[in-house]
Structure 1
């Protein structure tokens, strides 16, 4: 259980109540949880999944690969092609599932992961190569994550964008949004 807040007296009271009802142990400040590293500094709290990325790189055999600058090619045009070579569906689904989980601390891959996740039911070789490109991008950005800090900016701000029916098959749009609270990114999503 993770307990968070700025009222230390209330946190201690809650922990005391929990210790009376359940057999629990206080492990101190959160450092690592479900593959997410939690790093504290004077500047704020930084979340990243460095070990998780390194595990993906090792599993895909790309630990020594040359990193790429972007997670997807511009005007990628990914779609299911008639007669294209199929990919191993289980392997593809495992990789894309890991990338979906990774997007919890990496909003910069949310759009790309949304694109490759559209082909989970019938992945082809070029879809798998696109997913591997995301992994190669991660190789060059292993230490990236999200920073939560106190700052002077007040309020809640949201931004949205859409590509307006750019999918050549079904003419559907891909939309995304980002929400900032007190200047910190707290929600993001990319969806077809």
Structure 2
């Protein structure tokens, strides 16, 4: 059980009640949870999934690979082609699913993961190569994560943007957003829109 809050007295009372009713003990500050490592310092709390990244590298056989600088090629042109060679669907879905979970602490792979996840129903060799490129990018950025700290910024701020008809198959646009609370990044997403926009204004 993970208990969090800013009232230490209430947390102590809750712990006391739980210890009275159940056989349990306090393990102290949260350090590792569902593949996410919490590193605490005077600067704040840093979340990363380094071990999770290393596990993916081992499972894909890329632990000794040469890293790449970007998670996806510019103008990648990924689409479904009738004549393209198919990839192993189960293997592809397993890898992309893990990359989706990894994006909980990795804003930098959100767009790339959103792109390869569009082909889960019929993955082809090019799609699998693109997913493996994300893994190769992770090899050089395994230490990356997200920082939460106290700062002077107050309030909630959101930013959003979208391209126009970038998908080569259905001409739908990709929308992206991220939100800051008290100066800390808390939500982000990159997702294909549900309808085809007629103009860039409509996007």
The question of a shared fold, defined as TM-score above 0.5 by the shorter chain, is answered with: yes
Aligned to 2:179: 179
| Deviation digits for residues 65-106 of structure 1 (CA, Å, limit 9, x no counterpart) | 111010000011100012111101111000000000000010
1:22: Cα distance to partner? 2.6
- State the SS of the aligned residue for 1:131: helix
Aligned to 1:164: 164
Q: Does 1:28 align with 2:34?
A: no
When the two structures are superposed, what TM-score results if normalisation uses the length of structure 2? 0.93
| Deviation digits for residues 98-128 of structure 1 (CA, Å, limit 9, x no counterpart) | 0000000101111110100000110000000
Runs of 4+ in 1 over 4 A off after TM superposition: none
Aligned to 1:97: 97
Q: How many residues align?
A: 192
- State the SS of the aligned residue for 1:86: coil
Q: Does 1:66 align with 2:66?
A: yes
Aligned to 1:75: 75
Gaps of 5+ in 1: none
Superposed, 1:1-192 pairs within 5 Å as 1-192=1-192
Distance 1:36 1:113 in 2: 18
Gaps of 5+ in 2: 193-203
RMSD: 0.8
Moved more, 56-65 or 23-32: 23-32
| Deviation digits for residues 3-24 of structure 1 (CA, Å, limit 9, x no counterpart) | 1112110110111122223332
1:166: Cα distance to partner? 1.2
- State the SS of the aligned residue for 1:40: strand
Aligned to 2:201: none
Distance 1:17 1:173 in 2: 52
